[in-house]
Amino acid sequence: MISEKRLKELNRFEKILDYRFENIQYLNKSLTHKSFAYESGKQTKNNERFEFLGDAVFDLMVSDYMVKKFPDYQEGVLSKIRSVVVSEGNLAHIAQSLNLGEFLLLGKGEEQSGGRAKPSIIANALEAVAASIYLDAGFEKARQVLLKYFLEGMDKAATTNKYQDFKSELQERTQLEFNTVPQYVVAKDTGPDHDKTFEVNVFINGAVFGSGTGKSKKEAEQQAARSALESGATPF
């Protein structure tokens, strides 16, 4: 049973989403982290299975939009754009815009370590929310409620080089021309555990050819690879 206090919290999140659930249990489950479920006992269900389903909902929603919006784009380009749009970083950004972290059920340890702001937790929870709407009312309703939060990111990624996989491009070039692969090393990280910024250097044959920063190591590595490709100091 959902307590009256929890029901009021869920109702507030419904207003943010602009969607009223037929089965509010779906929403509650989508916002229940495994740490809370573990501390509460075996009968409490967490949102991990919903994350799995929500990932597929987002993939279909974004793919359907892009195929119709960008009829001249090849499959490879569409895949790269989609990977950016449904990435953890973008999902976390959308989750933050919805204040999703405020409504999560977290275990004490996760709560104390800043779990409500952790990109991985809120991004996964957003996927779970997508699944909860899908189960409650179907794919069309999920698209109606959630697609609008992706439109700006999709259009931006499609009209800039943001979707490019700079790491793959750099690796292909270094393998072809120098028979080696780039090495990425974290130079430093700053900020609290739940909001770190990473600085990464990329080495080619033992020399630094680029550096980049990001809110995740992957993002910083991509920026380092881009720096190496664009810098006049590169061996290309």
Segment 185-206, tens digit of pLDDT: 999 999 888 788 999 999 999 9
Are 28 and 89 contained in the same domain?
Answer: yes
Which among 139, 159, 179 is the end of a domain? 159
Let me know if residue 235 belongs to a domain: no
Look at the chain and report how many structural domains it folds into: 2
Let me know if residue 48 belongs to a domain: yes
Flag whether pLDDT at 235 surpasses 60: no
Are 10 and 45 contained in the same domain?
Answer: yes
Q: Is 221 in the active site?
A: no
Let me know if residue 236 belongs to a domain: no
Higher per-residue pLDDT: 58 or 160: 58
Q: Kindly list the distances between the CA atom of residue 201 and the CA atoms of 141, 181, 192, 208, in Å, as whole numbers in the listed order.
A: 44, 14, 21, 6
pTM of the model: 0.72
Helical spans, DSSP H, in the chain: 4-17, 24-30, 34-40, 48-69, 75-85, 88-97, 108-112, 119-137, 139-146, 151-159, 166-178, 217-230
CATH number for the domain harbouring residue 203: 3.30.160.20
Q: Which of 51, 127, 136, 219 is catalytic?
A: 127
Are 89 and 206 contained in the same domain?
Answer: no
pLDDT in tens, 77-131: 888 889 888 988 889 999 999 999 999 999 999 999 898 999 889 999 999 999 9
Are 37 and 109 contained in the same domain?
Answer: yes
Q: Is 55 in the active site?
A: yes
Are 108 and 208 contained in the same domain?
Answer: no
CATH number for the domain harbouring residue 151: 1.10.1520.10
% of the chain residues with pLDDT over 70? 96
Flag whether pLDDT at 41 surpasses 80: no
Beta partners for residue 211, in sequence order? 201
Are 198 and 137 contained in the same domain?
Answer: no
Give residue 101's Cα distance to chain centre: 14
For the chain, the residue count is 236
Q: Which of 9, 55, 169, 189 is catalytic?
A: 55
What 3-state DSSP class applies to 195? helix
What is the C-alpha separation between 166 and 141, in angstroms, rounded?
Answer: 36
